């Protein structure tokens, strides 16, 4: 199995990537999506589900469970919060792992939260910091565990309409950013709108 990820400014592009991965044969149980929801942009889509956004990441640990099987990952989307990122809509194994890692970090001082979840799943530390920061600034990340025979197709799907990680890292670094810090305050909805305008995001 290999872990592949895509970074998206546009939430609909991220959800479309999830649908395409499922159509390509990647099981829903092996796909995750985490998207910033600081401005409640997507809450109305999931208004019939319990919100864990105000209760900390640990409260949302099981939210991806409903996404497995034929119904598709996106039916398991729920609301939770991630330290340093803030409110997100999320589903899948990575979201559950991030919630558990955050709880473990609080209890035992481990590298936790979203960085620990990503690196433990095979994402490089540099990419994990970039993805976490991008979610903090309003983006979405889709991550999948795929069999070797599906790696090329999955990577192609995740490149479509996605952000170039190297270019985004360079843009962040030019403004003084170095690494994601889960002790930082989450971006406000106004700051996220500024970020979306900066990168010409169409939502």
Task: Annotate 135-158 with three-state secondary structure.
Answer: HHCCCEEEEEEECHHHHHHHHHHH
Q: What are 36's strand-pairing partners?
A: 88
Residue 115 lies in a domain: yes
Token pair recorded at residue 189: 């909805």
Task: State the 10-residue block means of pLDDT for the chain, 203 residues long.
Answer: 94 94 95 89 53 36 37 83 88 76 41 78 93 94 95 96 94 94 90 86 53
Indicate the SS3 state at residue 63: coil
**pTM, entire model:** 0.81
The residue segments making up the domain with residue 144 are 2-198
Residue 95 lies in a domain: yes
Residue 183 lies in a domain: yes
Question: In the chain, how many domains are there?
Answer: 1
Is 10 within 8 Å of 150 (Cβ atoms)?
A: no
Residue 179 lies in a domain: yes
Residue 203 lies in a domain: no
Helix (H) or strand (E) holding 12: helix 11-23
Q: For residue 136, what pLDDT is reported?
A: 94
Token pair recorded at residue 62: 């099981």
Q: For residue 157, what pLDDT is reported?
A: 97
């Amino acid at each position: 199995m290999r872990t592949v990820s895509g970074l998206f400014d546009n939430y609909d592009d991220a959800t479309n990537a999830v649908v395409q991965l499922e159509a390509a044969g990647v099981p829903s149980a092996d796909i995750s999506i985490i998207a910033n929801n600081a401005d409640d942009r997507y809450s109305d889509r999931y208004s019939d589900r319990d919100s864990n956004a105000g209760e900390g990441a640990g409260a949302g640990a099981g939210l991806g469970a409903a996404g497995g099987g034929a119904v598709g990952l996106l039916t398991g989307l729920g609301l939770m919060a991630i330290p340093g990122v803030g409110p997100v809509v999320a589903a899948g194994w990575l979201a559950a792992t991030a919630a558990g890692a955050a709880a473990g970090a609080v209890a035992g001082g481990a590298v936790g939260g979203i960085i620990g979840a990503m690196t433990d799943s095979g994402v490089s530390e540099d990419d994990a910091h970039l993805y976490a920061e991008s979610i903090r600034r309003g983006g979405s990340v889709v991550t999948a565990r795929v069999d070797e025979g599906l790696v090329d197709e999955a990577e192609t799907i995740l490149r479509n309409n996605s952000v170039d990680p190297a270019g985004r890292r360079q843009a962040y670094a030019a403004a003084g950013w170095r690494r994601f810090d889960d002790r930082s305050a989450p971006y406000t909805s106004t700051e996220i709108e500024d970020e979306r305008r900066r990168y010409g995001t169409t939502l």
